[in-house]
A and B are shown apart, each in its own frame.
Chain A
């Protein structure tokens, strides 16, 4: 299933107002590394249904969000809990790393 897309309004709402633990991938259509990482998240998502959010930000459509976190490059997966930034993964990652990080965020 495709990841839920966020724009700057829904980003505020999901990350800060709701504050549930989640991850957001910053990605773009023309990046081949993103094309490998996004499907991996899509596959993991159902396993965490209801307990951990999976979101997607297209940086070409939402340049502001990208600049706000002063990121340099895609893909980047940012992790949040209770509206607080919990760390990130840059570039190519595998599902084990993502699952480890999710577990760490859930425990914190």
Chain B
């Protein structure tokens, strides 16, 4: 049930850099804003030891930068809730969000900023040996492998950078790479560093099929994808960095459009296919997934949401709650006929004993309203009384016939 306590202008799902930036803009625009985040604030950026490419901060730790983002949002009056969103209902004008702790919240607009999560390979031994040699976080676990042999799977930025960090502790780090010799998916600087690194070795054209060991990791089974050859490789630790998948599973039932992998396509304003619902940061289809682009997305979406809410509110006030009867006129600035009709309608209105309030809607920019009233051509006129539709006018007539309809 909706009441004053669970009702907001804007709900942001996810508190990484994208969600926090949206919160800063939303809060500053005086929208009543709630940010729901399941983990630690700062998301993926909070797990990053060092960020050296966020403009204006030459070098900063992820948690420090994200701490500042969060403080900034808080200073503009944003409310924070630590919980996980598990269900949504985006069909109506009031968007509903349900959390794991069985709470419900309502808002006029929702911004989705849930980011990515590490992909699991789902091979035998991976789950069973988690915490007993299988690991996903170098900052957390690297030093438990002091003087031991560690295997890293993957060759993206994360795999190579984390691999080099693990090499500070391990005796040897062996990186398993899908590609031909010398080809790594990561950035050039890291690739050069890793290929030269005396503690790092590479196994090319390969993947792993199984993590071996009873109580703890004793080795991995490596498959060469070119020759099909299988080899057992002894090691005490295995770090998986095999890419990310968007955390958008919980939105499957919402009619929100997603691509095959679960990324949400959006417009330049971060609008999804559902009105009043926006997607920002790593969980949307995009070219560059970084803190700076996440922040930019968040700002754009919050401003777009603010305008959308303002439109909704003003429509509510001017049209749905109007004392006078309303003529809702749909026009298109590029359609001459609809502009002429608009003039005639205004003239006729002045001649009536009791005039109507005319509200003009530009089809090109107010697609949502056109959709709501199922308008497919201009000009179109809907007559409303106290927000309810009384009738539609036949617009293809002269002034007299128009007058007789009113």
Contacts and interface: CB of A to CB of B under 8 A. Distances in A.
Given A32-B46, A33-B140, A72 B135 contact: yes
B94 interface: no
A72 B137 contact: no
Contacts of A74: 140-141
A35 interface: yes
Contacts of A33: 137, 140
A71 B144 contact: yes
B312 interface: no
B296 interface: no
B237 A32 contact: no
Given A35-B40, A72-B237, A90-B131, A28 B216 contact: no
A32 B140 contact: yes
Interface string B21-63: 0000000000000000011100000110000000000000000
Contacts of B145: 72
Interface string A48-85: 00000000000000000000001111101000000000
A36 B144 contact: no
Interface residues of A, number: 19
Contacts of B133: 72-73
A31 interface: yes
A72 B82 contact: no
Contacts of A72: 131-133, 135, 141, 144-145, 216-217, 236-237
Contacts of A19: none
Interface of A: 28, 30-36, 39, 70-74, 76, 88-91
Given A73-B133, A91-B131, 9 more contacts: A35-B40, A36-B39, A72-B131, A72-B132, A72-B135, A72-B144, A72-B145, A72-B216, A73-B140
5 contacts: A32-B140, A33-B137, A72-B217, A88-B131, A91-B131
Interface of B: 38-40, 46-47, 82, 130-133, 135-137, 139-141, 144-145, 215-217, 236-237
